[in-house]
């Protein structure tokens, strides 16, 4: 079925590829780089005319979506430029931007964008010479990279063969342990309701024929008998926590180890009050993904963290220690091998792999709906004044949506993989999340469970790495 | 009409001839491991099986996820408008289960009745449907509960049915007859009454294996009568407000219109939308007549299984995809049974 689109209407423009000249969009801050470019002009320095500048108050105001928009609009390359650290007119806007763009760059690199297209620089108001040099270098890099490749489903990338995930069969569980956990969990939940620490308990239970246990909300002690525990993976109670807290005030939530980060994140970000929240951490016996152990379980012992209010193990339910422990991190997550493999491929092949994945996106927003930390009442995907993410369910909007979803979770994602489970198109969102977690932890330290911690991308240090900035 | 008994090899041969002929053949095929309907360029790509179901329906081949209604470029005072072609090339939907074929009729109800949608209508007229009767039901299947059958012929031009070894080929419409005549028949063996009996037996066996309680047409009034019943709040509370159900549904047809433009030109687009999204009904004033997620869930369930004229079938065709894929574990069939029971109980207690 053929349809027209604007690209075809303006086919004439594309046909002029022979005489192709790179088109570069530069996002510059008003106080340094814009003034630096001005200096280059008044000094009568010559540099290639391929750059179109967009002036912002500060690099801190520049959003990755603006870079994506430039690429969507046909730019072959983008340059982001602002004040040197310490020179920011707004004290530390550029330091926050530095972290944001370090992570954004890592994501775009992972998605297969040729890194000769995306550049960052610090150019002060006095550095006219540097501005001219940066523009020259960037222009040559983009020229070497050539015209921007097409977005959308491509034959390129069809041959990407990810290393197989582990397949040791489903988690093995003793009935005895399961029965004990269930009974301790039910008692702990009932007691939270009875003594008024919670008006509702969010757990697992409800399921239709043959389906794994799905989230269940219970508001009286008797119904706590319906709470279940097992290896089935049919949803996360944490997905409902923000809504339940608004509705019931005091809520108890049953959490696996991988879901705790989402629960703590909601408290940390002011969506639920920690002192009106009872976290019941239950020993996880592993989650099954179809007929095998879920990937995320490979590196996790499943033991509830001490920061839970109630810790349920087969031995019983006890009060938590009140402080987060050092999570045990075991090696062997099969995604790490898959990520390393993808990173070993040339950019074009990686781009093809991800464009094939993203072409399947139906924009059902199930990834957003299940994510405990996607709680905004109005999502950027739905803003249309201006519209940053096209609502068209094709390459226009699909890349931008999936990029921005992953970025908004960078440094916050707890790796519960709910988004990946929920995706009807089997898009490997877990690889994107895991890659960003690796990147954040490598650069800015381990993402922990403390309430006081600030998410990496709203924080900064003067000494943060900037090896990618000219 | 005549019917044939053909071998696997003959089936592949026929499929290959269809591909080689004019037009596009859409069949279940693997897309990096995910089974979806997609255009195939060789018969070997198609997954022609009498069990298993594609991740989502074939509706996007008639009602694309996003389509351009018109596009224009602007240069100075010159505006050039381009309309999409209204004569799409012929396509064959090959190997769809009966539920998906029935889903196309539900789309027709909306998009061809009254004011015809020209884009949909043109594609629909160019589409021929070859179904495969199911030899097995998935745990989520419930076509029999909504008036369908695992070997149903509604919306089907040619039906294929597995005979253990080989296939029964039955053209059911004139167009189906042409499709068979154009690319097959020569050397095919005529089917026997026995072959046909075998398929009827299979249909009964598969239908009885489904075992989901029927959703009788009378429930429509009951469910509507219980529109304000609290059961909707209890069930719908779990709806997370995504649109997995509507996106994978063979009969959901709602769309939104939007305009995307810059100084060089623009496009008028229409894109799938879903009643489970809060934005679906939110007014410009901010008022939303379906203000809670439970209300939005109720809307979808009732639109699938209740809202209808008395002479119409329900809109749900029982493919079970939304049951299998709902991230909240909601099961439209179990939920409607639960809702009907709760409402009926209140009615009989005289409290409704």
- Beta-carbon count within 10 A of B234 CB: 15
| Rounded-to-10 torsion of CA A31, A32, A36, A38 | -10
| Rounded-to-10 torsion of CA B118, B121, B122, B128 | 170
Is B281 in CB contact (< 8 Å) with chain A?
A: no
Smallest Cα distance from A367 to chain B, Å:
8
Distance of CA B290 to the CA centre of its chain: 26
Is B138 in CB contact (< 8 Å) with chain A?
A: no
DSSP 8-class letter at B227: T
Is A215 in CB contact (< 8 Å) with chain B?
A: yes
Mean pLDDT per 10-residue segment, chain A (470 residues): 42 58 96 96 95 96 95 94 96 96 98 97 97 97 92 84 83 91 97 97 91 94 96 95 95 96 96 96 93 90 93 94 77 90 96 95 98 93 89 91 97 96 97 97 93 93 96
Name the closest residue on chain B to residue A239, using Cα atoms: B240
Is B17 in CB contact (< 8 Å) with chain A?
A: no
Distance of CA A203 to the CA centre of its chain: 25
Residues 6+ away with beta carbon under 8 Å from B275: B246, B254, B281, B290, B296, B299, B300, B303
Mutate to test the interface with A, among B23, B29, B32 (most CBs of A within 10 A): B32
* The pairing of beta strand A310-313 with beta strand A316-319: antiparallel
pLDDT surpassing 90 at residue B297: yes
Kindly report the backbone phi and psi dihedral angles of residue A138, in degrees, each rounded to the nearest multiple of 5, phi listed first.
-65, -45
- Whether A387 sits inside 8 A of B260 (CB atoms) is yes
- Whether B61 sits inside 8 A of A5 (CB atoms) is no
Is A214 in CB contact (< 8 Å) with chain B?
A: yes
Name the closest residue on chain B to residue A213, using Cα atoms: B329
Is A212 in CB contact (< 8 Å) with chain B?
A: yes
Kindly report the backbone phi and psi dihedral angles of residue B263, in degrees, each rounded to the nearest multiple of 5, phi listed first.
-70, -20
For residues B15 and B9, what is the distance between their CA atoms, to the nearest angstrom? 10
Taking only the tens place, the pLDDT of each residue in B99-135 is 999 999 999 999 999 899 999 999 999 999 999 999 9
Name the closest residue on chain A to residue B35, using Cα atoms: A425
Is A370 in CB contact (< 8 Å) with chain B?
A: yes
Closest partner residue to B84 among A3, A207, A368, by Cβ?
A3
pLDDT surpassing 90 at residue B52: no
All residues of chain A having their beta carbon less than 8 Å from the beta carbon of residue B267 are 5-6
A-B C-beta contacts closer than 8 Å? 152
- The residues pairing with A202 across neighbouring beta strands, listed in sequence order, are A217, A253
Is B237 in CB contact (< 8 Å) with chain A?
A: yes
DSSP 8-class letter at A223: G
Quote the pLDDT of residue B257: 94
Distances (CA, A) of B348 to B81, B143, B220: 62, 29, 17
In 3D space, the residue among B55, B158, B36 whose CA is nearest the CA of residue B101 turns out to be B158
Taking only the tens place, the pLDDT of each residue in B162-220 is 998 999 999 999 999 999 998 877 889 999 999 999 999 999 999 999 989 999 988 99
- Whether B328 sits inside 8 A of A235 (CB atoms) is yes
* CB A156, CB A348: distance < 8 Å: yes
- Whether B328 sits inside 8 A of A208 (CB atoms) is no
Q: What is the DSSP string of A53-70?
A: EEEES-GGG--HHHHHHH
- The residues pairing with A313 across neighbouring beta strands, listed in sequence order, are A316
- Whether A369 sits inside 8 A of B240 (CB atoms) is yes
* CB A52, CB A25: distance < 8 Å: yes
In 3D space, the residue among A234, A230, A240 whose CA is nearest the CA of residue A214 turns out to be A234
Q: How many residues does chain A have?
A: 470
Strand, coil or helix: B258? strand
Mean of the per-residue pLDDT values of chain B? 93
Is B272 in CB contact (< 8 Å) with chain A?
A: yes
| A 88-147 residues inside an 8 A Cβ radius of B | none
For residues A314 and A291, what is the distance between their CA atoms, to the nearest angstrom? 24
- Whether A214 sits inside 8 A of B36 (CB atoms) is no
Average confidence (pLDDT) over B8-20: 94
Indicate the burial class of B311 (C-beta count within 10 angstroms; 0-12, 13-18, 19 or more): exposed
All residues of chain A having their beta carbon less than 8 Å from the beta carbon of residue B233 are none
- Whether B329 sits inside 8 A of A215 (CB atoms) is yes
Closest partner residue to A366 among B83, B242, B329, by Cβ?
B242
For residues A199 and A218, what is the distance between their CA atoms, to the nearest angstrom? 9
Is B78 in CB contact (< 8 Å) with chain A?
A: no
In 3D space, the residue among A352, A189, A207 whose CA is nearest the CA of residue A255 turns out to be A189
Report the interhelical angle of B118-125 vs B98-111 (nearest 10°). 140
Sheet holding B265-272, edge to edge: B78-82, B66-75, B265-272, B255-262
Q: How many residues does chain B have?
A: 352
- Whether A369 sits inside 8 A of B241 (CB atoms) is yes
| Rounded-to-10 torsion of CA B289, B295, B297, B303 | -70
Quote the pLDDT of residue A314: 95
- Whether A206 sits inside 8 A of B238 (CB atoms) is yes
Closest partner residue to B66 among A208, A364, A394, by Cβ?
A394
Distance of CA B1 to the CA centre of its chain: 27
Smallest Cα distance from A251 to chain B, Å:
16
Kindly report the backbone phi and psi dihedral angles of residue A32, in degrees, each rounded to the nearest multiple of 5, phi listed first.
-115, -70
- Whether B247 sits inside 8 A of A212 (CB atoms) is no
* The pairing of beta strand B189-190 with beta strand B167-171: unpaired
Is A42 in CB contact (< 8 Å) with chain B?
A: no
In 3D space, the residue among B128, B56, B36 whose CA is nearest the CA of residue B319 turns out to be B56
- Whether A214 sits inside 8 A of B66 (CB atoms) is no
Strand, coil or helix: B128? strand
Mutate to test the interface with B, among A9, A158, A358 (most CBs of B within 10 A): A9
- Whether A2 sits inside 8 A of B89 (CB atoms) is yes
Instruction: Work out the end-to-end distance of chain B between its first and last CA atoms, rounded to an integer number of angstroms.
Output: 53
All residues of chain B having their beta carbon less than 8 Å from the beta carbon of residue A396 are 260
In 3D space, the residue among B347, B304, B327, B335 whose CA is nearest the CA of residue B231 turns out to be B335
Read off the pTM.
0.94
Quote the pLDDT of residue A158: 86
- Whether A366 sits inside 8 A of B262 (CB atoms) is no
- Beta-carbon count within 10 A of B143 CB: 26
pLDDT band at B36 (very low <50, low <70, confident <90, very high): very high
Instruction: Work out the end-to-end distance of chain A between its first and last CA atoms, rounded to an integer number of angstroms.
Output: 47
Closest partner residue to B329 among A235, A363, A424, by Cβ?
A235
Share of chain B above pLDDT 90, in %: 84
All residues of chain B having their beta carbon less than 8 Å from the beta carbon of residue A8 are 71, 82
All residues of chain A having their beta carbon less than 8 Å from the beta carbon of residue B72 are 9
All residues of chain A having their beta carbon less than 8 Å from the beta carbon of residue B123 are 1
- Beta-carbon count within 10 A of A108 CB: 24
In 3D space, the residue among A350, A422, A356 whose CA is nearest the CA of residue B38 turns out to be A356
Quote the pLDDT of residue A152: 82
Quote the pLDDT of residue A9: 40
Distances (CA, A) of A411 to A68, A418, A438, A460: 21, 16, 9, 12
Is B307 in CB contact (< 8 Å) with chain A?
A: no
Query: Which H or E element spans position B342?
Result: helix B332-348
For residues B62 and B91, what is the distance between their CA atoms, to the nearest angstrom? 10
Query: Which H or E element spans position B132?
Result: strand B127-132
Mutate to test the interface with A, among B327, B335, B337 (most CBs of A within 10 A): B327
Is B246 in CB contact (< 8 Å) with chain A?
A: yes
Reported for B310-316, long-range contacts at CB under 8 A and 24+ positions apart, including other chains, are B310/B217, B312/B109, B313/B106, B313/B146, B313/B147, B314/B146, B314/B147, B314/B215, B314/B217, B314/B220, B315/B106, B315/B109, B315/B251, B316/B146, B316/B215, B316/B251
Name the closest residue on chain B to residue A383, using Cα atoms: B279
| B 87-126 residues inside an 8 A Cβ radius of A | 88-89, 91, 123
Distances (CA, A) of B165 to A413, B5, B27, B186, B323: 51, 10, 21, 20, 32
Query: Which H or E element spans position B6?
Result: strand B4-6
């Amino acid at each position: 079925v053929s349809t027209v689109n604007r690209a075809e209407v303006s086919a004439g423009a594309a046909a002029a590829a022979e005489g192709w000249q790179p088109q570069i969009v530069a996002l510059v801050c008003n106080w340094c780089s814009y003034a630096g470019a001005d200096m280059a002009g008044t000094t009568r320095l010559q540099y290639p005319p391929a750059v179109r500048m967009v002036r912002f108050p500060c690099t801190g105001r520049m959003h990755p979506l603006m870079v994506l928009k430039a690429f969507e609009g046909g730019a072959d390359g983008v340059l982001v430029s602002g004040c040197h650290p310490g020179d920011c007119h707004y004290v530390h806007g550029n330091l926050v931007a530095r972290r944001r763009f370090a992570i954004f760059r890592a994501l775009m690199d992972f998605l297969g964008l040729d890194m000769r297209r995306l550049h960052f620089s610090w150019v002060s108001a006095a550095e006219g010479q540097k501005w001219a040099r940066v523009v020259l270098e960037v222009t040559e890099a983009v020229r070497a990279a050539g015209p921007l490749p097409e977005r959308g489903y491509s034959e390129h990338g069809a041959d990407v063969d990810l290393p197989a995930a582990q397949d040791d069969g489903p988690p093995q569980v003793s009935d005895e342990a399961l029965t004990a956990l269930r009974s301790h969990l039910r008692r702990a939940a009932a007691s939270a309701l009875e003594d008024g620490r919670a008006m509702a308990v969010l757990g697992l239970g409800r399921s239709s024929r043959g389906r794994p246990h799905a989230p269940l909300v219970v508001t009286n002690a008797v119904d706590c008998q319906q709470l279940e525990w097992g290896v089935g993976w049919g949803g996360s109670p944490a997905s409902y926590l923000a809504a339940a807290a608004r509705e019931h005030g005091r809520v108890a939530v049953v959490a696996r180890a991988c879901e705790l980060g989402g629960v703590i994140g909601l408290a940390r970000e002011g969506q639920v009050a920690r002192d009106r929240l009872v976290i019941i951490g239950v020993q996880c016996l592993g989650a099954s993904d179809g007929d095998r152990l879920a990937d995320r379980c490979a590196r996790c012992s499943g033991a509830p963290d001490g920061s839970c209010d109630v810790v349920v193990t087969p031995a019983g339910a006890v009060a938590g220690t009140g402080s987060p422990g050092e999570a045990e991190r075991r090696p062997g997550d099969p995604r790490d091998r898959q990520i390393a493999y993808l990173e070993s491929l040339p950019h074009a092949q990686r781009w093809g792999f991800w464009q094939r994945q993203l072409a399947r996106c139906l924009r059902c927003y199930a990834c957003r709906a299940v994510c405990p930390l996607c709680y905004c009442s109005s999502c950027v995907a739905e803003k249309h004044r201006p519209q940053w993410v096209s609502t068209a369910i094709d390459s226009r909007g699909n890349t931008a949506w999936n990029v921005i979803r992953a970025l908004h979770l960078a440094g916050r994602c707890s790796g519960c993989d709910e988004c990946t489970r929920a995706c009807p198109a089997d898009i490997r969102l877990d690889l994107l999340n895991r890659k960003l977690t690796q990147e954040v932890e490598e650069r800015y330290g381990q993402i922990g469970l403390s309430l006081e911690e600030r998410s990496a991308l709203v924080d900064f240090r003067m000494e943060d790495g900037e090896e990618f900035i000219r | 009409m005549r019917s044939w008994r053909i071998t696997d090899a003959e089936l592949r041969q026929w499929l290959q001839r269809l591909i080689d002929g004019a037009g596009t053949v859409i069949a279940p095929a693997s897309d990096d491991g995910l089974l979806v309907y997609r255009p195939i360029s060789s018969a070997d790509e198609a997954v022609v099986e009498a069990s298993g179901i594609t991740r989502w329906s074939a509706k996007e081949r008639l009602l694309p996820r996003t389509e351009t209604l018109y596009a224009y470029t602007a240069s100075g005072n010159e505006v050039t408008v381009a309309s999409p072609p209204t004569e799409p090339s012929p396509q064959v939907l090959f190997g769809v289960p009966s539920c998906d074929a029935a889903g196309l009729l539900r789309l027709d109800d909306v998009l061809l009745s009254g004011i015809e949608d020209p884009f949909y209508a043109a594609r629909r007229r160019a589409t021929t449907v070859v179904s495969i009767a199911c030899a097995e039901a998935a745990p989520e299947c419930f076509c029999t509960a909504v008036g369908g059958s695992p070997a149903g012929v509604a919306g089907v031009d040619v039906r294929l049915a597995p005979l253990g070894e080989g296939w029964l080929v039955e053209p059911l419409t004139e167009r189906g007859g042409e499709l068979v005549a154009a690319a097959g028949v020569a050397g095919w063996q005529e089917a026997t009454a026995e072959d046909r009996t075998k398929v009827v037996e299979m249909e009964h066996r598969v239908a009885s294996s489904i075992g989901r309680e029927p959703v009788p047409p009378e429930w429509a009034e009951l469910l509507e009568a219980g529109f304000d019943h609290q059961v909707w709040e209890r069930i719908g509370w779990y709806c997370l407000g995504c649109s997995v159900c509507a996106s994978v549904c063979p009969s959901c047809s709602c769309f939104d219109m939007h305009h995307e433009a810059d100084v060089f030109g623009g496009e008028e687009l229409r894109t799938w939308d879903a009643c489970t999204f809060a934005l679906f009904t939110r007014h410009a004033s901010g008022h939303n007549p379906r203000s809670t997620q439970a209300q939005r869930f109720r809307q979808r369930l009732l639109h699938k299984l209740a809202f209808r004229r008395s002479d119409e079938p329900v809109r749900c065709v029982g493919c079970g995809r939304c049951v299998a894929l709902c991230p909240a574990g909601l099961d439209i069939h179990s939920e409607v049974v639960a809702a009907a029971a709760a409402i009926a109980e209140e009615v009989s207690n005289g409290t409704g």
